[in-house]
Structure 1
């Protein structure tokens, strides 16, 4: 008997694009450059939750070998198309989730990253992810968790505080939309928030410290309500 799918596996089962603010190549390139700056070198990289490979193909020229992992077969199919289109021969794709990916790896890495993924993991699952990642990290390596939802800023973003047209009318409209979304999700037995869970920076730092790492907190350049956790 196969194990039951998680609510997130079901939600992303037929998705074919990542949750980037814009799908324009110009924007993806800017986002990739920011992330490459924080990745800061290394030769071998594991991109967990690589999705459709939008960022992975921009990482490829900077690394000797890359592995992209995701639990969505449709996402990996799109990633495969991008890899062929960009003619990158140093990328391997793996169908796996945060629990099964580790048993499918045949090497260790200088950088282990996850962008826009940790929001779909509970604190306990983040703890397990960092613990497992540390066992597959080369000496001097880093675990970099990109685009975590900031619990202080995310609610403000949801009501439109950071939008250019913020005002009373849009505030009430946003709140009404959020209420409708929650009720609709309950009725359809779907996630109440497609962006998942928020994580306090201090919680991630405590987990990192628990496993012998330090953590640097960095505000995202392109998402006002997200931050990066650089663990080394």
Structure 2
């Protein structure tokens, strides 16, 4: 496991909520509806990197059987509580990372999804994930990667160009802060951004095609600097 990945596992070790723009149920409900639209059916689903289960409990209303996996025990505990509160008895929770998950699932799925997770994987790890996921996918199934950081838009977001308070002074301040943060991360041998890597959609598509998938690129509705990759 890479040093960067260890840093991220350490970062999420005691976290109890996912990185959603808002924790309000009204927002989570809308975000879940968007993702369910792109998942477009199926009866069984594996949500890799399910976090605290904020979206998983909404998926549970539409699927007969679900598995939620995450490498953070504290996040899974929150997911367990949320599923219990919502009486989602069709959810199984699994403590695993992108390598160990495949030895811990005993069935195949109609849909395999990961939201806000792929940025913590290198291109090589994404390649391996798709290869393994394809072996656990039912005929006609889909792999859907939600909310991947777009390298063409993410820098603009960090500069504040999507903010309601966009202005030259704010842009200069944010840019200066990012330069200092990047320099500090390099000196400390840590990831430049705790949100992880940004991945060009053309490279993701090339990996998908390698494994026999067609990929559809869709802009995220709720995160201006992210996109979804739908593999079928």
> Normalization by structure 1: what TM-score?
0.95
* Count of aligned pairs between the two proteins: 230
Instruction: Give the equivalent residue in structure 2 for 1:25.
Output: 25
Instruction: Give the equivalent residue in structure 1 for 2:162.
Output: 162
How far the C-alpha of 1:7 sits from its partner, in A, is: 2.0
How far the C-alpha of 1:187 sits from its partner, in A, is: 6.0
Instruction: Give the equivalent residue in structure 2 for 1:231.
Output: 231
1:53 counterpart = 2:53: yes
1:34 counterpart = 2:55: no
What are structure 1's unaligned runs of at least 5 residues?
none
1:172 counterpart = 2:172: yes
Equivalence map 1:1-232=2 (5 Å): 6-186=6-186, 190-232=190-232
d(CA) in 2 for partners of 1:204 and 1:162? 25
4+ residue stretches of structure 1 with deviation over 6 A?
A: none
Moved more, 160-169 or 30-39: 160-169
SS in 1 for 2:61: helix
d(CA) in 2 for partners of 1:181 and 1:31? 30
> Normalization by structure 2: what TM-score?
0.95
Moved more, 161-170 or 113-122: 161-170
d(CA) in 1 for partners of 2:35 and 2:101? 22
How far the C-alpha of 1:180 sits from its partner, in A, is: 3.5
